Amino acid sequence: MTEIIINYPSKPVLVRLATALGYYDPVGKAITTQGAIATGGSYFFNNVGVVYQPTGNMVPSPMGGQMPEMAPLPGFWARLRHNGDQAILDGHMSPQIMAQAAALGVTIYKRATINGQSVWTADGTTAGPAYLDTIGVIA
């Protein structure tokens, strides 16, 4: 099983990326959120949308008292779980597709070991923010 986290700037950009990855149904005009992989296995796509994180400030809560102030992270978010042959996902994530995604303002995070720790990374050398662990978690 492999998961990736996707940060994208708009729905049209997500549709272009999903089309390039083979996860868009042009007839139904929708991103296919789950399905079988032809070579065996399955995938699940969780399009989360806007994700909020605490700012560090406290604000009044509707029930009285205080609660953490929340602010949206930039862009929109999704998580893809690929339960199949890793070579299929690697093929979808070819350098050409990754370059196209980057040109569209998309950031794709994968798990990697950096300095002995398993972290999310977009470039393979720099650890991504800790909040990535919680985005679109698939049970």
94 in any annotated domain: yes
Quick one: what percent of the chain has pLDDT higher than 90?
Answer: 60
Q: Provide the domain limits for residue 87.
A: 2-134
| DSSP 8-state assignment for residue 58 | E
45 in any annotated domain: yes
Q: ∠ at Cα 136 (16, 23), nearest 5°? A: 30
Q: What is the mean pLDDT of residues 114-124?
A: 94
Q: How far is Cα 21 from Cα 69, in angstroms, rounded to an integer?
A: 36
Q: How far is Cα 127 from Cα 35, in angstroms, rounded to an integer?
A: 30
> Is residue 6's pLDDT more than 90?
yes
46 in any annotated domain: yes
Provide the pairing of β-strand 117-121 with 107-114.
antiparallel
**pTM, rounded to two decimals:** 0.85
Q: What is the mean pLDDT of residues 56-78?
A: 96
Exposure of 66 by Cβ count < 10 A (0-12 exposed, 13-18 middle, 19+ buried)? exposed
User: How many separate domains does the chain show?
Assistant: 1
Residue 48, pLDDT score: 95
Confidence band of 96 (pLDDT split at 50, 70, 90): confident
Residue 87, pLDDT score: 72
85 in any annotated domain: yes
Beta carbons within 8 Å of 72's beta carbon, 6+ residues apart: 50, 51, 52
Residue 49, pLDDT score: 95
139 in any annotated domain: no
Instruction: Work out the mean pLDDT of the chain and round it to a whole number.
Output: 89
Residue 20, pLDDT score: 79
> Is residue 136's pLDDT more than 80?
yes
What is the distance in angstroms between the CA of the first residue and the CA of the last residue of the chain? 13
pLDDT digits (tens, 9 = 90+) for 9-56: 999 999 988 887 778 888 988 888 898 887 888 889 999 999 999 999
> Is residue 91's pLDDT more than 80?
no
130 in any annotated domain: yes
